[in-house]
Structure 1
């Protein structure tokens, strides 16, 4: 059985409003609903685990009633950190379950079906896979005293989600104590000494964080419609 854990724990502070960013409308529909729909469009049999802060769950359920949103999912409580939220989502997958689980940012509603497929297919072969993009901007490393130097952008990649893993492997990885070096779910798995395969992501798979991102999101929707 394959799963996806959609983590939506943001408070939306950088959006400048009281409504958490995952609930803001894009094209007349809350972002989080669009994200869930993408994964069911990829595979309707995929089991969706939605991770939300407990304080936001009633509001989310009211939104589902307002918008007539009936996609299937199970709900897990969000934690204080991304690590804790992912761990809470993983706890809803039965021990001993075989298959794959993706972990995806709830505010990335434009992940392509092709990207999702590449991640799950690569994880089937390699046990862990992440989508990446090449860096197009010039990068500069800032030194200890504020001076800097250019670095080769060809040595770096932009990391997206979903990050997809063998269920047994990711459950084992999240038995560790949380560390500051765990910047994403793949870094938790890599701490066990495991290699993570990289596959091509898609440019539209942006993380909606600022008001400007919402403007871009509307443009993406208009372009794809």
Structure 2
């Protein structure tokens, strides 16, 4: 039976939030942001295993959170690396080939079980599923001389997570040396020679990066009646 594994990357310090506490542990309606992220994956699949990537100084805090959720047997906590690539690679090193693997930003706490399941189903059929939404703002691109040109925003896709792959693709791809162009997992897999496939994302699947995002996230949770 194919295993379902989520690598949840929460290894950042969250300096843009303006506090000492990493943003993944900030409270949103009395629960840490990370609680909602983890809970969504268990709501999607009760047989999923999670690899939680945390800063070394906050591993104990992660252990307490997982214990309070009663998920100690299903969550493995590991230390993050110097970059996103290295953090994810630490998780990939624990995988086996016969798996479907979700790689998700820990602070995308509004991810829905429905999108998680859609990513799984497409990956089973096509090998990958990368959530993406269309740009809604006007877009301009700069050249090396600061000249700018308007481009057709209908052709621009904004990439989200969970970026989902067959385990064998991630294992093969993350054996490559790190390069600066590796900004996400799709870039790594594509660079290895594999085709990646997009799937319709969710505009509410935002990444908490600024204080105002917490206010928006609370409003979305209120709308969903999640407390």
Alignment of 1:141-160 (within 5 A): 141-160=141-160
- Give the aligned partner of residue 215 of structure 2: 215
Alignment of 1:86-105 (within 5 A): 86-94=88-96, 97-105=97-105
- Give the aligned partner of residue 77 of structure 2: 75
Deviations along 1:37-72, one digit per CA (max 9) or x if unpaired, are 00000001011111112221123234456xx32223
Number of residue-to-residue matches in the alignment: 221
CA distance in 1 between partners of 2:121 and 2:64 (Å): 36
- Give the aligned partner of residue 111 of structure 2: 111
Q: CA RMSD in A?
A: 1.2
Runs of 4+ in 1 over 2 A off after TM superposition: 59-65
CA distance in 2 between partners of 1:160 and 1:197 (Å): 13
Deviations along 1:21-51, one digit per CA (max 9) or x if unpaired, are 0000111100111100000000010111111
1:144 Cα deviation (Å)?
A: 2.1
Q: Verify: 1:122 aligned to 2:122, yes or no.
A: yes
Structure 1 unaligned runs (5+)? none
Structure 2 unaligned runs (5+)? none
Q: Say if 1:76 and 1:92, in contact at 8 Å, map to a contact too.
A: no
TM-score computed with the length of structure 2 as normaliser: 0.94
CA distance in 1 between partners of 2:141 and 2:115 (Å): 30
TM-score computed with the length of structure 1 as normaliser: 0.94
- Give the aligned partner of residue 42 of structure 1: 44
- Give the aligned partner of residue 205 of structure 2: 205
